[in-house]
Amino acid sequence: MGFAGKVWRVLVGIKDGLSLIFLLLFFFALYAVLTARPSPGMVRDGALLLELDGYVVEEKSAVDPLTILLSGEEPIGEYQVRDLVHAIEEAATDDRIDAIVLDLTNFIGGGQVHLQDIGEALEKAKAADKPVLTYAIAYGDDAMLLAAHASEVWVDPLGGAIVAGPGGARLYYAELLENLKINARVYKVGTYKSAVEPYSRSDMSPEARENYEALYGALWAEWQANVKKARPKLQLDRIVGGPVEWVEASNGDLAQAALEAGLVDKLGSKVEFGERVKEIAGEDGWDETPGAYAHTELDPWLADIEPDLPGSAIGVVTIAGEIVDGDAGPGTAGGDRIAELLDEALDDDLAGLVVRVDSPGGSVLASEEIRRAILRHKAADIPIAVSMANVAASGGYWVSTPADRIFAEPETITGSIGIFAVIPTFENAAAEIGINADGVRTTALSGQPDLLDGFTPEVDAILQSSIEDGYADFLARVAESRNLTTEQVDRIGQGRVWDGGAARQIGLVDQYGGIDEALAWVAERAELEDGDWHVQWLGDDIRPYDSLIRRMIGGDGADNAGNRARGGDLFAMVARREQSLTGRVAMDVERLLSVRGMQAYCLECPAQPGRAAHAAQGDGWLARMMRLVAG
């Protein structure tokens, strides 16, 4: 009995210890949730600090807690453009805010339309006598497009600034695939539909080069015009006309070269920059660290300035990222998810609808599913407008066709009206290693499609015919939407990509403007006065664990590996380019081997910031037809 009693006491002790541990964990988790969630009570007089350690995006990507916790790496930051614009515009008229500070040390980039929207908000703040100050170790094109609107641009003396302009090389795999004995079967319609060229060529086609030169030329002209307008004394021609001579004139000191050419206004360390902000915003009563100043961060500021919801609701649905089949997203435009959001809103008695598009397209089937869901709102006889952000091309234009009016910016990339599919077969590779195929067929389609024995001519013909039919459907939808003939659409289609200015001239876009102009137009058509309506973002759910996960993984961010990788000087920018190249190769390989369905995708459009390749497999018309043929 004595021994049994000792065992029992040990077991009771273990039970009590575990209970205590779980109770402590519970209260720790509760505290973490409560403190991680931003609160208006955290707003303080001083500066509004926008520490942009990541990308500016249209819609934040969903955070997968399990993946993040297992990887142990903090996800790269994403900042919704509408949040930043709203925060800056409210700060411009709020007496609690003395200055707006942009810390761009770890800023990676954003789309040109988004950055220009933020720039316009910064100009409003300056006009309201709120100084805007920026700091970075190294400024690239995207950071410079933001910093150009600042009252004071600071750079670290060991850093610098450089302007490269849009464009660059992309990779072509035709020779590699030939060496590997992989047959990339390409099915497409569109002379300019260069999305498939990386798998069928070793260089850029003349048609693609013509299209790229026109597109990038227009984007570069807009970038220069915006930056020169914001910084009239900037010696941009000297910087881009003779970059080597410009740098060598300062003996290789990139920071001094940037200062002399007018890219930046001040050289100084992070502490010296903080001391300058302190002169405007006041001392931080809680933090005695050198360079600390009174400030409010973005999240609590947004929690404090939540807009009122007067009158009728105008819905806004966001189509951001690649359009894929299924429930993917946010940050990726899952066709099922977005269609469901739109259908659920049918019961909300919306006064109008704005479709915000920032997508290079993707699955034809998913694009059509979204288009049909928008048409169900149109059947309710409400005004519908499309607001194009950085990219609304291919499938991104497909989903825009139900609109009563299409708004875009001069920097918007649109068009790319074309269809393609790529399917790899391995008959040559199999034969090379001694694998041969033989059998009996009752018809030309027996056993097809066969990835190891290759496709019969009949299968190739059927697949190409299906692509041509999809293109005809695309033309018909655009023609009906834009009041053009299919022949007219075909002439401006063929996969060609257009900038917003050219798109307006040829009738693909109705007028210049952003989401505010689109909302105002819908309100006017719905006969709503100012103050009698509010915006209802469809599917704009708050993910309460997002900030908690970031805090658990990243701590205070001071010693996080992800942050260290994102910061740094111009050489660190080169390293990030290398990482981006690796990601691009992975995306190209995944796109070839995944055998997705019919695609209305603009691969030739500039890459969207922060968007990694998604592994969701397509399930479009082409994939379904292949399964049907295969039995």
List the catalytic residues: 193, 394
Strands 361-363 and 599-601: antiparallel
Q: Which residue has the tokens 């170790």?
A: 137
Q: Which residue has the tokens 């479009």?
A: 620
State residue 311 phi and psi, 5-degree precision.
Answer: 60, -150
CB neighbour list of residue 559: distance below 8 Å, 6 or more residues apart:
none
Token digits of residue 384: 């519908």
Token readout for 407 is 């708004």
Contact indicator for 50, 143 with CB cutoff of 8 Å: no
Distance between CA atoms of residues 418 and 601, nearest Å: 8
SS (H, E, C) 291-325: CCCCEEEHHHHHHHCCCCCCCEEEEEEEEECCEEC
Q: Which residue has the tokens 């060991």?
A: 158
β-strand 183-189 against 419-425: which pairing, if any?
A: antiparallel
Cβ neighbours of residue 230 under 8 Å, at least 6 residues apart?
119, 123, 148, 149
Q: CB neighbours (10 Å) of residue 188?
A: 22
Give DSSP secondary structure letters for 112-141: HHHHHHHHHHHHHHHHTT--EEEEEEEE-H
- Cα 168 to its chain centre, rounded Å, is 19
β-bridge pairing 54-57 and 97-103 = unpaired
Query: How many angstroms separate the CA atoms of 477 and 484, rounded?
Result: 10
Interatomic CA distance for residues 407 and 403, integer angstroms:
10
Task: Give rounded-to-5 percent helix, strand, coil for the chain.
Answer: 45, 20, 35
For β-strands 132-139 and 152-161, DSSP reports them as parallel
Buried b (16+ CB within 10 A) or exposed e, 161-170: bbbeebeeeb
